[in-house]
Structure 1
Amino acid sequence: PYKCPECPKAFKGSSALLYHLRGHTGLRAFRCAQCGLAFKWASHYQYHLRQHSGERPYRCPACPKAFKNSSSLRRHRHTHTGERPHTCG
């Protein structure tokens, strides 16, 4: 296993460790050409780019709403199903 030198976590592959290490180093490899903001994670960078473009690629199949990321769509879909996945028991 590949052990993190900063915390107790270990990983099966070196690429997973390198991905994890970005959380410790503060390295922000993804810089927005429009405003200069920089991000550690590609997914956060992609979401940020949609702030500039207005793109909302995740469309609800039950209504006209669209979202910038899949997790927002997933959360929204509960309004149609009535499902409450995080209720207190």
Structure 2
Amino acid sequence: EQPYEHGECGKSFSWSSDLINHGNIHTGERAYTCLECGKSFSHRSNFIKHSKIHTRRKPYKCWECGKNFRQSSDLISDLIEHQRIHTRERPYKCPKCGKSFSDSSTLTQH
């Protein structure tokens, strides 16, 4: 059930806090500002995620080579991509020439 509906766009939410956060999209309000670089955010969760780029802490480690990563949520995909260095997996194939790549962005650049 989603009893909280935004009056302007009609989008519904299960939690009142989600409705409030959603409202920032329409107002353009960016209440969360990074003191390090000045970048501002409308959602607290995005601000918290961003603030981690300013720390040197990298608690998530590749079990194969020991390379460290900053956060698990966003970097799980990076860790999976990184593991392909060790497995030599190349799942992205160019449909024109057949060359394979370990990540989609390299295929796109190719």
Q: TM-score range by the shorter chain?
A: 0.5 to 0.7
Structure 2 counterpart of 1:37, one-letter code: K
Aligned counterparts of 1:27 and 1:39: Cα–Cα separation in 2:
8
Q: Look up the match of 1:69.
A: 71
TM-score by length of 1: 0.65
Give the C-alpha shift of residue 69 in structure 1. Answer: 2.9
Give the paired residue count: 85
Consecutive unaligned residues in structure 1, runs of 5 or more: 85-89
Q: Which has the higher contact order (CA 8 A, sep 6+)?
A: 1
CA distance in 1 between partners of 2:61 and 2:55 (Å) = 16
For structure 2, the 5+ residue unaligned runs are 92-110
Cα RMSD, aligned residues only: 2.8
- TM-score, normalised with respect to structure 2: 0.56
Which one has a bigger Cα radius of gyration?
A: 2
**Poorly superposed stretches of 4+, deviation over 4 Å:** none
